[in-house]
Amino acid sequence: MGRRSAALCLLALSALPTGAAAQALKAELVGQEFVEDHTPEVSVSGNVLVGLMTAEAAEGLASDSLSLAPAGALVSKELCLRVSSRDGTYTSKNLYRVPEALDRSAVGLPYPSRYLTVVEQYGVDDVALAASAGRCDESARDYFVVMSAGQQPANLRLYVNSFGATDVLHRTKEGGEWSTPTPCNAITAKRRTTFDHVCDVKARGGATALDIEILRERFGRPQPTVALRVHRVAGGE
């Protein structure tokens, strides 16, 4: 890859293209109605992995400027975007059809929310976003990186529901051996219905796919491991 061509590729875990290139493409929202819900009273339920995003992604909700980082391998032409507030009062789950050029350019994800006064209040650690390959009713394992358009993304963040685990850790593999497990940070303030831990993932950014495992223990007793793969662009300068 030449120096000029490489500069046009966004590294999902390093640098985001700026200007028009970041929003040159936009995914098509499938269905006539945008699906979301705001319910003040909720019960605890859901998945261990709630969000996979950059910290800046929350800023794109109210401004309708969410962006999907390009991936090194297009594993599906459809993806499901799930959004969950930490307190569980706001959720959305919508299917998108993705352009073929996902491996080369960032793709905008339309977010025509009816609850702007609600979502505009969410900041870092208040809401989790996750974009998984395939339809929303399918089991998710392959993910893309969600971010806010025009931002320079920091390291990837995982938002985790521990489901009562006393210890939550994560480890990564980029084409080689697994890294040493790293503890995730517990969220102790306010209501924690859908997620209660944040994991800051350190990645070199040189591989097209990053494998991640979420490890949980309850008083020293292992809980089921959650495995996932993050697809992204590799190489370039």
- Residue pLDDT, tens place only, 193-210: 899 999 999 877 666 788
Inter-residue contact 12 to 207 (CB < 8 Å)? no
pLDDT given at position 41? 47
pLDDT(39) > 60? yes
pLDDT(212) > 80? yes
Give the residue numbers spanning the domain of 26.
3-231
Q: Quick check: is 117 in a domain?
A: yes
pLDDT(192) > 90? no
Q: Quick check: is 122 in a domain?
A: yes
pLDDT(127) > 90? yes
Q: Quick check: is 236 in a domain?
A: no
Residue 52 neighbours by CB under 8 Å, 6+ apart: 129, 130, 131, 143, 145, 146, 156, 157, 158, 159, 228, 230
State how many domains the chain has: 1
Computed over every residue of the chain, the mean pLDDT equals 81
Q: Quick one: pLDDT band at residue 12, thresholds 50, 70, 90?
A: very low
- Average pLDDT of the segment spanning 12-38: 67
- Average pLDDT of the segment spanning 2-24: 45
Please tell me which residue, 29 or 15, carries the higher pLDDT value.
29
- Average pLDDT of the segment spanning 73-94: 88
Name which of 110, 145, 152 is nearest 130 in CA terms: 145
Residue 7 neighbours by CB under 8 Å, 6+ apart: 236, 237
Distance CA 93, CA 128 (A): 12
Supply the pTM of this predicted model: 0.79
Strands 209-218 and 167-173: antiparallel
**Which amino acid, 168?**
V
Q: Quick check: is 209 in a domain?
A: yes
- Average pLDDT of the segment spanning 200-222: 87
pLDDT(223) > 90? yes
Q: Quick check: is 237 in a domain?
A: no
* Torsion angle in degrees (nearest 10) through CA of 36, 40, 43, 46: 30
Q: Quick check: is 30 in a domain?
A: yes
* Interior angle at CA 175, CA 106 and CA 108, nearest 5: 10
pLDDT given at position 23? 55
Inter-residue contact 28 to 97 (CB < 8 Å)? yes
The phi-psi region of residue 219 (left if phi > 0; otherwise alpha if psi is between -120 and 50; otherwise beta) is left
Q: Quick check: is 199 in a domain?
A: yes
